[in-house]
């Protein structure tokens, strides 16, 4: 046993050896034990199923045992309910090692269970940031009393929080917890893959004055078994999956819930024992699929990105990826589900259904071979969430003294770059728009705020994301999942059916009745159906990803991991893009249009499109790989080149360009809290969220460079 093991309490040592059957601590567990017992904040890095949960809980349970911590002393936060459900039994078993208890709290937990928790709080609380927000805002939840003994917070899959609104929200909620427990909370982030762990650790630190460290055991990693095939469509992908690895457990990732339903039904119709997993299925349906998968051998789960996040579905033999994930980090998360058993290796087979999917999959593999992982970039001036927190705190405190608003949030990393003038402008604007009201120096929800955010007991304030109206699908009094009301309203039945049919959980259903008022759709089984549609488009790809795709297209290399079909399909793609071999950034004339193939990524090209339209007075179409000039400007490539060169020489786009053009580049509303921001801060928010100014400048810097020059 290691020296770190010797630091754990004797009772816990005994249980680790005799109850868990451990012969020793893994390197990540030993290093995390030292860091946590030393009182440090830390980010703990290890692959999926690498022992991160035990690494964080062993030292905290030891402290509970020796220092007599009182409930609630540890909060475990997860980005999704499914991961909480999956971790509940595991954490309960760990807590029980030293006679402690754990409780899971989220929206699906019934009132009787919550009342039991009130009467006898547990040592560990498993929840989501949104549920935690609801607890803090509820007059029925005695947050100040329950969290007075809080000592530490564990944030699982911390990378999934840090670079979006949920991370900014989490950083604020952590500071509010500090206010309740009146101590420097220890913060422990867990992650399998992140490209910039030091920055994530700094973001997690917030107001804490504790020392901090990254726990990364490193060590030699198992060589991955990778393959890239081109199958040309989902129907063919289903045929290949049926023939690959018979008798094995396979997890297939897709990029949308609709595609998961389509592929799942194709596999089921082909005689494969197939299940689907995505966020629109009911808890019972997901749990049934997890249990069936764990107990089975020859079976497939078709899943969206939700299955990246460490959910344990038992021994897994193979991961397959339809087309490509958007990032290398996502690929590593998915591949990390395999290779856990002794003698097994991590593996992933890419099945490209389109030419674009083939290019992107090849780029992901190329970046992976170079050791590249995307950095996670947290926001430090989340103005819209400062507005959200002003409203949430006004409800929590039943009237917030305006001068105390910043004292609640001062340490939150999400507001680190905001100025006093920024924060004052937000509150003043909210007062002028009657989103907030002020009475005797206290802030309350104003009439507009009540109408917009106060309905259904402030449900709109519990979650930072807006969501469409969902209809629960029910058969024989059992909930299957949810579909969007907009999809049901537009659904047409297959020929020969009087009702409307669709698939959910990879099974077809005939609609018998829709109760729009209650939000329930009653169905019965049907032989065929259309896959549902959910809102939400594909994410833009980054500059680095697109540049990797360009390099794949101009390269002659064909790795051994590529199948013959992939080699032949890529040869066709390389021939189609042969013009890229002459220049890093070619401008190609076409009929009534011209296209600049800059491979800058969608967010960079959105900004460049707005900027160039203002300079040339013509319409541009932005894509991940290119900008296409339409109308007048397309008639003169010389004018286009001159304008691009001028922008390059002037180091544009400037910050002023970003503020001017970002709003025109956005697609739809980014946040339901946009009305809370004054114009100037709204433009800064759009600039930080919608466009990629650095990528745009890097794309312009490649102008005129030939392929034989370094880029």
Q: What is the pLDDT of residues 173-189, one digit of tens each?
A: 999 999 888 999 999 99
Q: Which residue has the higher pLDDT, 59 or 299?
A: 59
Q: In a 3-state reduction of DSSP, which class is residue 622?
A: strand
Rounded mean pLDDT, 42-65: 90
Structure token pair of residue 505 = 């959980």
pLDDT > 90 fraction of the chain, expressed in percent and rounded: 57
All structural domains of the chain, each given as residue ranges with its CATH number in brackets, are 3-215 (3.40.50.300), 225-369 (3.40.50.300), 383-462 (1.10.10), 470-525 (no CATH), 577-701 (no CATH)
Rounded mean pLDDT, 424-449: 94
Alpha helices in 510-580 (DSSP H): 543-554, 564-576
* 364 close to 541: Cβ distance less than 8 angstroms: no
Arithmetic mean of pLDDT over the chain = 88
What pLDDT does 424 receive? 97
What pLDDT does 606 receive? 95
What pLDDT does 440 receive? 86
Please, which residues bridge with residue 188 across strands?
Answer: 42, 154
Closest to 280 in 3D by CA, of 538, 623, 531: 531
pLDDT at 278 over 80: yes
Rounded mean pLDDT, 362-372: 95
201 φ, ψ to 5°?
-65, -40
pLDDT at 378 over 50: yes
What pLDDT does 195 receive? 83
pLDDT bin (cut points 50, 70, 90) of residue 703 is confident
Rounded mean pLDDT, 533-546: 82
pLDDT bin (cut points 50, 70, 90) of residue 80 is confident
d(CA 511, CA 638): 59
Q: In a 3-state reduction of DSSP, which class is residue 530?
A: strand
What pLDDT does 441 receive? 87
Closest to 265 in 3D by CA, of 257, 256, 255, 275: 275
pLDDT tens track for 651-692: 999 999 999 999 888 877 788 899 999 999 999 999 999 999
pLDDT bin (cut points 50, 70, 90) of residue 708 is very low
What pLDDT does 709 receive? 42
* 548 close to 367: Cβ distance less than 8 angstroms: yes
pLDDT bin (cut points 50, 70, 90) of residue 192 is confident
pLDDT bin (cut points 50, 70, 90) of residue 346 is confident
Closest to 328 in 3D by CA, of 541, 563, 29: 541
pLDDT at 536 over 70: no
d(CA 418, CA 386): 9
Give the range with max mean pLDDT: 22-31, 64-73, 353-362, 616-625: 353-362
DSSP string for residues in 353-418: -SHHHHHHHHHHHHHHHTT--PPP---S--HHHHHHHHHHHHHHTTSEEGGGHHHHHTT-GGGTT-
DSSP string for residues in 344-365: ---EEEEEE-SHHHHHHHHHHH
What pLDDT does 414 receive? 95
pLDDT bin (cut points 50, 70, 90) of residue 543 is very high
Q: Which residues are CB-neighbours of 435 under 8 A, at least 6 positions away?
A: 387, 391, 445, 446, 448, 449, 452, 453, 675, 676
d(CA 493, CA 529): 8
pLDDT bin (cut points 50, 70, 90) of residue 710 is very low
Please, which residues bridge with residue 299 across strands?
Answer: 249
pLDDT at 13 over 50: yes
Rounded mean pLDDT, 403-432: 96
pLDDT tens track for 561-572: 999 999 999 999
pLDDT tens track for 507-521: 889 898 888 777 888
The DSSP symbol for 170 reads H
Rounded mean pLDDT, 12-28: 92
622 φ, ψ to 5°?
-95, 135
pLDDT bin (cut points 50, 70, 90) of residue 534 is confident
Give the per-residue SS3 of 597-648: CCCCCHHHHHHHHHHHHHHHCCCEEECCCCEEECHHHHHCHHHHHHHHHHHH
Structure token pair of residue 474 = 């029910």
pLDDT at 1 over 70: no
Q: Which residue has the higher pLDDT, 233 or 82?
A: 233
* 359 close to 552: Cβ distance less than 8 angstroms: yes
């Amino acid at each position: 046993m290691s020296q770190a093991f010797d630091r754990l309490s004797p009772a816990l040592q005994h249980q680790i050896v005799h109850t868990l059957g451990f012969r020793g601590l893994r390197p990540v567990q030993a290093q995390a034990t030292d860091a946590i017992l030393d009182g440090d904040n830390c980010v703990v890095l290890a692959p999926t199923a690498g022992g991160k949960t035990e690494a964080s809980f062993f030292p905290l349970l030891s402290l509970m045992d020796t220092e007599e911590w009182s409930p609630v002393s540890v909060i475990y936060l997860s980005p999704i309910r499914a991961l909480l459900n999956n971790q509940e039994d595991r954490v309960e078993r760990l807590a029980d090692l030293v006679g402690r208890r754990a409780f899971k709290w989220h929206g699906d937990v019934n009132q009787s269970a919550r009342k039991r928790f009130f009467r006898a709080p547990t040592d560990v609380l498993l929840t989501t940031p949104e549920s935690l927000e609801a607890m803090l805002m509820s007059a029925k939840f005695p947050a100040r009393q329950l969290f007075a003994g809080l000592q530490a917070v564990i944030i699982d899959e911390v990378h999934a929080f840090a670079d979006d609104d949920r991370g900014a929200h989490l950083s604020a909620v952590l500071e509010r917890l500090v206010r309740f427990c009146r101590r420097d909370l220890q913060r422990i982030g867990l992650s399998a893959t992140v490209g910039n762990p030091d920055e994530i650790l700094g973001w997690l630190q917030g107001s804490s004055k504790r020392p901090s460290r990254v726990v990364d055991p490193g060590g030699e990693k198992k060589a991955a078994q990778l393959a890239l095939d081109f199958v040309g469509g989902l129907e063919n992908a289903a045929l290949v999956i049926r023939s690959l690895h018979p008798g094995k457990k396979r997890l297939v990732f897709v990029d949308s819930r609709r595609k998961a339903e389509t592929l799942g039904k194709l596999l089921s119709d082909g005689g494969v024992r197939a299940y689907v997993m995505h966020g629109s299925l009911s808890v019972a349906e997901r749990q049934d699929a997890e249990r069936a998968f764990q107990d089975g051998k020859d079976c497939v789960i078709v899943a969206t990105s939700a299955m990246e996040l460490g959910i344990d579905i038992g021994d897994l033999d193979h991961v397959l990826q339809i087309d490509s994930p958007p990032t290398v980090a996502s690929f590593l998360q998915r591949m990390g589900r395999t290779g856990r058993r002794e003698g097994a290796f991590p593996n992933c087979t890419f099945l490209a259904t389109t030419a674009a999917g083939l290019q992107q999959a090849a780029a992901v593999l190329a970046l992976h071979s170079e050791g590249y992982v995307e950095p996670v970039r947290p926001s430090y001036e989340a103005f819209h969430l400062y507005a959200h927190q002003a409203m949430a705190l006004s409800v929590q405190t039943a009237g917030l003294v305006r001068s105390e608003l910043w004292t609640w949030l001062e340490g939150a990393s999400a507001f680190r770059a905001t100025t006093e003038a920024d924060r004052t402008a937000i509150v003043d604007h909210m007062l002028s728009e009657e989103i907030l009201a002020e009475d005797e120096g206290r802030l309350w929800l104003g009439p507009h705020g009540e109408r917009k955010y106060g309905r259904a007991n402030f449900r709109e304030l519990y979650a930072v994301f807006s969501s469409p109206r969902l209809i629960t699908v029910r058969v024989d009094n059992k909930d299957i999942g949810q579909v969007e009301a907009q999809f049901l309203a537009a659904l047409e039945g297959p020929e020969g059916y009087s009702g409307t049919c669709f698939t959910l959980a990879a099974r077809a259903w005939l609609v018998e009745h829709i109760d729009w008022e209650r939000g329930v759709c009653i169905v019965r089984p049907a032989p065929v159906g259309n896959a549902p549609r959910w809102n939400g488009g594909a994410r833009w790809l980054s500059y680095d990803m697109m540049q990797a795709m360009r390099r794949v297209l101009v390269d002659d290399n064909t790795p051994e991991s590529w199948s013959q079909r992939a080699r032949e399909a890529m040869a066709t793609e390389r021939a189609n893009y042969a013009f890229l071999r002459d220049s890093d950034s070619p401008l190609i004339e076409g009929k009534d249009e011209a296209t600049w193939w800059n491979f800058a990524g969608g967010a960079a090209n959105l900004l460049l499109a707005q900027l160039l339209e203002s300079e040339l007075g013509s319409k541009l179409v932005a894509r991940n790989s290119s900008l296409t000039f339409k109308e007048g400007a397309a008639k003169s490539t010389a004018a286009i080149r001159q304008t691009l060169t001028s922008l390059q020489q002037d180091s544009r786009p400037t910050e002023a360009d970003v503020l001017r053009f970002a709003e025109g580049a956005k697609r739809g509303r980014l946040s339901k809290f946009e009305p809370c921001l004054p114009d100037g801060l709204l433009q800064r928010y759009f600039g930080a969220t919608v466009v990629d100014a650095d990528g745009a400048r890097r794309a312009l810097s490649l102008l005129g460079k030939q392929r034989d020059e370094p880029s």
